[in-house]
Amino acid sequence: MAEASFTPRVFSGIQPSGGLTLGNYLGAVKRFVEMQERGVETLYCMVDLHAITVWQDPEALRRNTRQLAAFMIASGIDPERSIVFNQSQVPEHAQLGWIFNCVARMGWMKRMTQFKDKAGKNAENASLGLFGYPALMAADILIYHATHVPVGEDQKQHLELTRDIAAKFNHDYGVEFFPMTEPVIEGVATKVMSLRDGSKKMSKSDPSDMSRINMGDDADTIAQKFRKARTDPEPLPETVDGLADRAEARNLVAIYAALGDRTMEEAMAEVGGQPFAQFKPRLADLAVEKLAPISAEMTRLMDDPAQIDAILNRGAERARAIAGPILDRTYDIVGMVR
Ligand code: TYM
């Protein structure tokens, strides 16, 4: 399909299920800000309908939704230039999601590794929503005809499925209606790893709090977590190539590079050869310098939930103005009497 016929538009979403980490910041939100600065149209969504695919306490969900909005805004997303909203306020997501439930195939969904990870051994007891999660995610993106989706590496398979759903819809109905969305998985920190195990993703669900930096950790906690981060005993190598078989060292350098807007090569030119006793405090200082203002601003914003709600309401209105006509046209294509 001729992608050129679609106006560039960026969409991405984050689940308001609590526990925002440095992985969410470097892999997603910091890059959302960069895309906003490029001047394309950007939509950023708190995907509360996705969050409830696993149990969420209602009060906690409300608080986490506002906190996620505060995190995005504190990180530099400007609700004037970007459309910032929560998913449940734009019913078109769920409406298109239903159509996509009827387009996606069981076999495709069964291959989704995130479902397998989240459902664990007890898949029979997982919610139907968790199984259908990727079809709703495709709807999130395609209800805006979004052309680019910045995400971390763990979302790659879902974005491939989004393209499969778009292609099957277009093929089945003989249209060129939905774009082939491009995942944007770029930069040095598309997969921030655990500080305790360089083979595991940094995640809010890891039982060890020492495995991650939480947005909101204070300076002492950040310094302590980096000081205790697992590494090998050797000093850092001189070059990026030397990091190849050193997952933990590589992860810390990638975090350093991403926080300081450097390439891996630039970061290694600065810190290559340093022992960890020297590098870790330097990394901690940089992290505190970059994260402390975000935390402070999040706290300030959270003091005024009505202002956050007003931003989300306005964002939802703007989002619906784009989504409404695309849903109407979809219903026409499918054959719904209007
Ligand atoms: P979620 O809420 O798990 O994560 C939000 C974003 O943070 C990224 N991320 C990471 N990046 C690098 N290193 C890490 N350790 C790390 N941990 C998390 C994720 O890749 C993601 O970009 N299914 C999505 C939410 C979603 C969505 C969408 C995304 C729903 N609809 C439509 C894009 C477009 C999710 O669970 O992300």
Q: What pTM, to 2 d.p., does this model score?
A: 0.96
Return all residues near 268 (Cβ < 8 A) that are at least 6 apart.
236, 237, 238, 239, 240, 243, 253
Q: Is 86 helix (H, G, I), strand (E, B) or coil?
A: strand
pLDDT at 121: 87
pLDDT at 120: 87
33 pocket-lining for ligand 1 (C-beta < 6 Å): no
Taken in order 55, 216, 89, 134, the sign of the CA dihedral is negative
* Alpha carbon distance 144, 52 (integer Å): 22
Radius of gyration of the chain (CA): 21
* Alpha carbon distance 280, 87 (integer Å): 39
Per-residue pLDDT of the chain (338 residues; tens, 9 = 90+): 444 489 999 999 999 999 999 999 999 999 999 999 999 999 999 999 999 999 999 999 999 999 999 999 999 999 999 999 999 999 999 999 999 999 999 999 999 999 998 888 888 999 999 999 999 999 999 999 999 999 999 999 999 999 999 999 999 999 999 999 999 999 999 999 999 999 999 999 999 999 999 999 999 999 999 999 999 999 999 999 999 999 999 999 999 999 999 999 999 999 999 999 999 999 999 999 999 999 999 999 999 999 999 999 999 999 999 999 999 999 999 999 99
Candidates 335, 327, 338, 336; CA nearest to 95 is 327
* Alpha carbon distance 78, 164 (integer Å): 32
Candidates 74, 96, 111; CA nearest to 11 is 96
pLDDT at 122: 87
- Tell me how far the alpha carbon of residue 108 is from its chain's centroid: 22
Locus of tokens 């706290």? 299
- 201: annotated active-site residue: yes
Name the amino acid, one letter, at 67: Q
pLDDT at 2: 41
138 pocket-lining for ligand 1 (C-beta < 6 Å): no
Output the CA 1–ligand 1 centroid distance in Å: 27
Burial 162-180 (b: 16+ CB within 10 A, else e): bbbbbebbbeeeeeebbbb
Output the CA 152–ligand 1 centroid distance in Å: 6
Q: Is 230 helix (H, G, I), strand (E, B) or coil?
A: coil
Q: Which of 9, 46, 47 to mutate to test the pocket of ligand 1 (most atoms within 8 A of CB)?
A: 47
Taken in order 295, 214, 259, 113, the sign of the CA dihedral is negative
Which residues lie across from 150 on neighbouring strands?
184
State both tokens at 287.
């992290």
Residues counted in the chain: 338
The residue contributing the CA closest to ligand 1 atom 17 is: 23
Instruction: Please give the backbone phi and psi of residue 193, each rounded to the nearest 5 degrees, phi first.
Output: -100, 165
Instruction: Please give the backbone phi and psi of residue 145, each rounded to the nearest 5 degrees, phi first.
Output: 50, 40
The residue contributing the CA closest to ligand 1 atom 22 is: 151
